[in-house]
């Protein structure tokens, strides 16, 4: 639990976190609800127990693919040739044939919409040369993201000894995907589509995409041993939530659990952007090349609050009368304290220098003295 609270504090942008409420009742043994922009966990149940994730594994496969696309290493239009290994995958598949060629776009769509195991392996092989090499990349990226409960064995989530993750870790990689690669929505929001010029029909395995208001994705998964798993994302009023459910008893139950988590989050919390009530005036600089510096509020000025606390916020600016040079852009000059209607501090946001101001040189100082001397009456 100590690790959990430490991570929450870091992810909340050094702001005061909302109290983590009990949340709704869910039937699944492991679940978590996370807000995207801050990474704050709003409620959770046994979120760090390692469990089989089934095809929710593919969130990492998708993430690595999107990172390669967005970095320019590959493109949507690259053509991938199916290998014998990729075509041998069981479970959900698009019946990729050995030697068949498909674009990265179509393979990615197949993974996102129908959870194609063969498509996932084909992408992994294209990115890393082999599925084993790709799995090494998956595990390395998991460690970078702080997914301490995770160990991947394959790119698909097909049953394999030691292939586990946790609800919390799934939320972490889901957040990384939707936060930094929003273009993935072009695939995760598809309800029905096709491949091979209409010959192969695709229907999304995630029913929430069609039946939940604001659904943006993300990935289902199920096997006999993993049960029914889901990472579900949805956005309303500028706030996107991630609901993760693991080892549900039935498909309907996992969707009901995810819906309950999302409903709770949207009903209870809101993102509020705060700013000073009046524009910040330039602050005098002592012995600076310029006489003043412009204070600016940090860009991280969106607070995640319980709706009950979001109304009637008060903002108090605390700045000194002047600051000494030198000043570097981004130096902390003061703070904006935000309090709720009861006077309780909700957040303390830094006010920063919007520009650099160097210390005046001796030559500049001398010229100033001369100007004062000759201009004196």
Active site residue 55: yes
For the question of residue 58 being annotated catalytic, the response is yes
Catalytic residue among 30, 36, 45, 58: 58
Sheet holding 314-318, edge to edge: 295-297, 345-353, 332-339, 314-318
SS (H, E, C) 279-314: CCCCEEEECECCCEECEEECCCCEEEEEHHHHCCCE
> Active-site residue among 115, 174, 222, 231?
115
Closest by CA position to 52, among listed 224, 271, 270, 269? 224
How many helices (H) and strands (E) the chain has is answered by 12, 18
Catalytic residue among 55, 166, 222, 231: 55
115 given a catalytic annotation:
yes
Return phi, psi of residue 30, to 5°. Answer: -130, 135
In the chain, which residue ranges form alpha helices assigned H by DSSP? Answer: 2-11, 58-71, 84-87, 104-114, 117-128, 131-144, 167-180, 185-188, 208-211, 251-268, 307-310, 362-375
Q: Distance between terminal CA atoms of the chain?
A: 72
Residues recognised as catalytic: 55, 58, 115
């Amino acid at each position: 639990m100590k690790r959990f609270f430490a991570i929450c504090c870091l992810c909340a942008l050094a702001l005061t976190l909302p109290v983590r409420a009990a949340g709704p009742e869910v039937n699944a043994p492991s679940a978590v609800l996370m807000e995207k922009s801050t990474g704050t966990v709003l409620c959770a149940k046994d979120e760090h127990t390692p469990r089989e994730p089934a095809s929710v594994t593919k969130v990492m496969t998708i993430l690595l693919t999107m990172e390669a696309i967005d970095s320019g290493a590959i493109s949507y239009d690259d053509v991938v040739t199916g290998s014998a290994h990729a075509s041998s995958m069981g479970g959900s598949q698009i019946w990729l044939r050995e030697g068949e060629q498909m674009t990265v776009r179509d393979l990615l769509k197949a993974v996102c919409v129908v959870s194609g195991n063969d498509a996932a392996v084909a992408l992994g092989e294209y990115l890393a040369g082999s599925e084993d090499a790709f799995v090494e990349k998956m595990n390395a990226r998991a460690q970078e993201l702080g997914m301490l409960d995770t160990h991947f064995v394959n790119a698909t989530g097909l049953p394999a000894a030691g292939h586990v993750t946790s609800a919390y870790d799934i939320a972490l990689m889901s957040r990384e995907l939707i936060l930094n690669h929003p273009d993935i929505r072009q695939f995760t929001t598809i309800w029905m589509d096709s491949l091979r010029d209409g010959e192969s029909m695709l229907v999304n395995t995630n029913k929430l995409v069609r039946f939940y208001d604001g659904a943006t994705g993300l990935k289902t998964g199920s096997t006999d041993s993993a049960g029914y798993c889901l990472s579900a994302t949805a956005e309303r009023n500028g706030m996107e939530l991630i609901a993760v459910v693991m080892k549900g008893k039935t498909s309907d139950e996992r969707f009901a659990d995810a819906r309950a988590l999302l409903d709770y989050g949207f009903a209870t919390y809101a993102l509020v952007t705060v700013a000073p009530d009046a524009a910040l005036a330039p602050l005098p600089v002592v012995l600076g090349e310029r006489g003043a510096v412009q204070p600016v509020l940090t860009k991280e000025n969106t607070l995640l609050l319980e709706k009950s606390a979001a109304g009637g916020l008060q903002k108090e600016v605390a700045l000194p009368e002047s600051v000494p040079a030198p000043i570097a852009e981004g130096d902390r000059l003061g703070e904006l304290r935000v309090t709720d209607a009861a006077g309780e501090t909700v957040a303390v946001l830094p006010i920063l220098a919007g520009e650099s101001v160097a210390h005046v040189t001796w030559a500049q100082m001398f010229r100033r003295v001369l100007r004062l001397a000759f201009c004196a009456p």
